[in-house]
Amino acid sequence: MGLDRLVEKISAKGFDGYALIFIRKLSNHVRFAVNKISITNTWDDATLHILLEKEKKVYITSLPYPLEESEDTILERALAALKNIPPREDYSPLPEPGNYPKHPEFDKNVVENPEKLNEIVEEVIDKTLSYGAKRVAGSLYANYIRGRLITSTGVDLEVEDTNVYIDVRAFIDKQATGHSSIAGRFIADIDVDYVSEKAAYFAKLSANAKKGEPGEYKTLLTPDAVASLFNTVGDSISAFSVDAGFSYFKDKLGQKVASEKLTIYDVPISKSGFIVRTFDDEGVPTKNKELIKDGVLKTYVHNRFTAKKFNAEHTGNAGWISPRVWELEIAPGELKEDELLEFLGEGLIVGNATYIRFQNYLAGTFSAIIRDGIFYVKNGEVKHAVRGLRLSDSMPRILQNIIGLSKERVQVYHWWLESDIPVIAPSIVVEGVKFTKAFG
């Protein structure tokens, strides 16, 4: 790879610091709808991200690799830009190398035999139909990533990783739908029977829905719905979001922001993690850590700039522009799967949540589209499916009103997670969640 020559040229041009991230990604994807494969995608992509510093000024460029311009052209353009950029008040130098955790095993076979994905999808379609669905749609991805990080402080790290995910949506008709997904690291993680049966089961249970009445309900959020809603927790806990005003955790550090039943971790290192990161984009070793402990906000996540600005420790969550949570893990509760409905007593089950939009980011007021299994429960039993409601509440209120979490958890990652953060999610029961309905 020609990165060594680029490093030499950067040094010769008089930059004070640099970081390079090279990423090669091979991916295969099968997309299906209406009981057939819509398209397959095959991607072979290589990108080089370059960060250059001079006199506390920072310039970033991302380019296809192999480079299409000479190194000199790229670096001269950076120097010209740096002349006109003011120094960063929150500047902090690139970190020194650290002690890095071991990267868990991965499975390069995920991209070695792409036709296998066709077979899996065809089996999922057949099985979901055999379980009673009328139509089935979804997506299956298999990704292989090879990366390298080099910095002017002596960091030189390489990594290889793989992940896979499938999501399946079953239909009885346009309104009666069920969803299931699996996110993992190995092709063997894809359990065809599980995703097919689950999606079909909830689609069938969603048939003959009655119009829902707006109001406040004790609500059981399934792991899919929890993952969508808690992506906004991941977003709000980034110090960049806090500084920008995009966060309902602004000025809440050390305060009780949720029910004492809620503990959340950032888990970049896990044998089964969909996203595994042993170092961040600035070369800082990552670590698993508490974000919210017994309802108290313990930390924001930081890169070098936000850490300086907030007078806080670097948390190993650097993106060059904005720090980010790698993967959220919600600590399990005590409710067994078969106790959830009894615990709920009377209320609603929400199978999935999408299209989360905030009216006020600081207050955390928002609404979300709910789908893929909304059920009314009374005396601990599902009475009927419900349609036409929208979850319209505030995230701080939902977090404070959590009254129970399941023991069992699922790793959730799929297309409509608002911020692309995988979540290890239990089912969560929340008191008094607000729902509205449309006029007409």
Partner 1 sequence: MEEILIHAVDYAIQKGAEYAEARFQKDVSNSIVLKNGVVETVSSSSITGVGIRILLNGSLAFASTNNWRERNSVEKVINLAIKMARGRKSSGIKFSREKTIIANIEIKPKKDPNNFPLDEKLLILKEADKALSSEKAKFPNRVILYSEMSTEKVFVNSEGSVIRQVIPRIYLYTFFAVIKNGRSDTRFIELGASRGIEALDEWNLLEKFKKEAEIMAEILEAPKAPEGVMDVVLGPEVSGIAVHESVGHPFEADRILGREGAQAGESFVDPEMLGKKVGNDVFTVIDDPTIPGSYGFYLYDDEGVPARPRYLIFKGTVNEFLNNRETGSIFGTGSNGSARASRFDREPIVRMANTYIAPGDMSFEELIEDIKFGVYIKTFGEWNIDDLRYNMRYIGKEAWLIENGELKHLVRNPVLEITTPKLYESIDAVDKNLEFFAGTCGKGDPAQGIPVYLGGPNVRLRKVYIYSG
Q: Which 381-410 residues touch partner 1, going by CB under 8 A?
A: 388, 390, 392
Closest to partner 1 by CB, 4 vs 438, is 438
- Residue for token pair 């296998």: 116
* Whole-angstrom distance, CA of residue 159 vs CA of residue 177: 39
Q: Verify binding: residue 65, partner 1, rule CB under 8 A.
A: yes
Number of residues that bind partner 1 (CB under 8 A): 86
Which region, judged by CB under 8 A, interacts with partner 1, from 153-161, 218-226, 277-285, 367-375? 367-375
Q: For residue 92, give the DSSP letter.
A: -
* Whole-angstrom distance, CA of residue 270 vs CA of residue 334: 22
The one among 171, 230, 376, 413 contacting partner 1 by CB under 8 A: 171
Q: Verify binding: residue 355, partner 1, rule CB under 8 A.
A: yes
Query: What is the DSSP track for 322-342?
Result: S---S-EEEPP-SB-GGGHHH
Shortest reach from residue 365's CB to partner 1, in Å: 7
- CB within 8 Å of 384: residues ≥ 6 apart: 208, 209, 210, 375, 376
Closest to partner 1 by CB, 170 vs 221, is 170
Query: What is the DSSP track for 270-305?
Result: -TT-SS--SB-TTSPBP--EEEEETTEE---B--HH
The Cα angle at residue 317 between residues 316 and 321, in degrees rounded to 5: 125
Q: Verify binding: residue 45, partner 1, rule CB under 8 A.
A: yes
Helices 3-12 and 71-84, packing angle to 10 deg:
40
Which pairing describes strands 210-211 and 328-330: parallel, antiparallel, or unpaired?
unpaired
Closest to partner 1 by CB, 177 vs 401, is 177
Which pairing describes strands 389-394 and 215-221: parallel, antiparallel, or unpaired?
unpaired
Q: Verify binding: residue 31, partner 1, rule CB under 8 A.
A: yes
Helix (H) or strand (E) holding 45: strand 36-54
The one among 243, 290, 408, 431 contacting partner 1 by CB under 8 A: 243
Q: Verify binding: residue 254, partner 1, rule CB under 8 A.
A: no
Handedness of CA 64, 65, 68, 73 (dihedral sign): positive
The answer to whether the beta carbons of residues 296 and 400 sit under 8 Å apart is: no
Closest to partner 1 by CB, 126 vs 191, is 126
Q: Verify binding: residue 360, partner 1, rule CB under 8 A.
A: yes
Q: Which 69-108 residues touch partner 1, going by CB under 8 A?
A: 77, 80-81, 84-86, 88-89
Shortest reach from residue 47's CB to partner 1, in Å: 7
Which pairing describes strands 328-330 and 264-266: parallel, antiparallel, or unpaired?
antiparallel
Shortest reach from residue 71's CB to partner 1, in Å: 14
Helix (H) or strand (E) holding 5: helix 3-12
Closest to partner 1 by CB, 217 vs 435, is 435
Q: Verify binding: residue 63, partner 1, rule CB under 8 A.
A: yes
Q: Which 180-239 residues touch partner 1, going by CB under 8 A?
A: none
Q: Which 321-340 residues touch partner 1, going by CB under 8 A?
A: 321
Handedness of CA 368, 374, 379, 380 (dihedral sign): negative
Closest to partner 1 by CB, 96 vs 415, is 415
The one among 7, 61, 146, 287 contacting partner 1 by CB under 8 A: 61
The one among 4, 14, 44, 379 contacting partner 1 by CB under 8 A: 44
Shortest reach from residue 4's CB to partner 1, in Å: 20
Which region, judged by CB under 8 A, interacts with partner 1, from 100-108, 323-331, 339-347, 356-364? 356-364
Q: For residue 267, give the DSSP letter.
A: -
Q: Verify binding: residue 130, partner 1, rule CB under 8 A.
A: no
The one among 366, 376, 413, 435 contacting partner 1 by CB under 8 A: 366
Q: Verify binding: residue 175, partner 1, rule CB under 8 A.
A: yes
Q: Verify binding: residue 68, partner 1, rule CB under 8 A.
A: yes
Q: Verify binding: residue 369, partner 1, rule CB under 8 A.
A: yes
Bridge partner residues of 182 (DSSP): 166
* Whole-angstrom distance, CA of residue 201 vs CA of residue 179: 9
- CB within 8 Å of 101: residues ≥ 6 apart: 269, 278, 285, 286, 287
Closest to partner 1 by CB, 85 vs 381, is 85
Shortest reach from residue 349's CB to partner 1, in Å: 18
Q: Which of 297, 283, 293, 289 is nearest to 270 (CA)?
A: 289
Q: Verify binding: residue 66, partner 1, rule CB under 8 A.
A: yes
Q: Verify binding: residue 115, partner 1, rule CB under 8 A.
A: yes
- Residue for token pair 């994905």: 117
Q: Verify binding: residue 53, partner 1, rule CB under 8 A.
A: no
Shortest reach from residue 327's CB to partner 1, in Å: 19
Residue type, 21: I
Closest to partner 1 by CB, 302 vs 409, is 302
